[in-house]
């Protein structure tokens, strides 16, 4: 898969342990793929990280990440389908 927007520049900055733990916590809460992705979106969006911003960032994600999202969607559909089947079986047994 070709890289549409290769990242060739590196930005470094230091954090205290408390700042790093806060960053990791915010990253986990937001659903970002990594601390780097979260930090990139935060910096480029002026500090406002939304799920939409993260989805936009993820649009250039790897094939593996896309398969993970597809798998998650299939599992959700399977769960919904099973609930519908259970409702149908319950309705026909009454």
Pick the closest to residue 29 from 44, 50, 14 (CA basis). 50
Residues 39-79 have pLDDT tens digits of 888 888 876 666 555 665 555 555 666 777 788 889 899 99
pTM (2 decimals)? 0.48
Share of the chain above pLDDT 90, in %: 20
Q: What integer pLDDT is reported at residue 29 of this predicted model?
A: 84
3-state secondary structure (DSSP) of residue 68: helix
| Every domain of the chain and the residues it spans | 15-60, 62-94
Compute the distance between CA of residue 51 and CA of residue 74 in angstroms, rounded to an integer.
21
Residue 3 has pLDDT above 80, yes or no: no
Q: Kindly report the average pLDDT of the chain as a whole number.
A: 80
Residue 19 has pLDDT above 60, yes or no: yes
């Amino acid at each position: 898969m070709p890289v549409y927007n290769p990242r060739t520049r590196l930005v470094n900055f230091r954090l205290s342990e408390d700042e790093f733990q806060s960053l990791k916590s915010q990253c986990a809460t937001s659903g970002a793929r990594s601390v780097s992705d979260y930090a990139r979106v935060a910096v480029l969006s002026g500090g406002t990280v939304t799920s939409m911003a993260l989805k936009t960032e993820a649009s250039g994600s790897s094939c593996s990440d896309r398969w993970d999202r597809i798998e998650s969607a299939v599992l959700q559909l399977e769960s919904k389908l099973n609930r519908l089947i259970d409702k149908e079986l319950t309705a026909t047994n009454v």
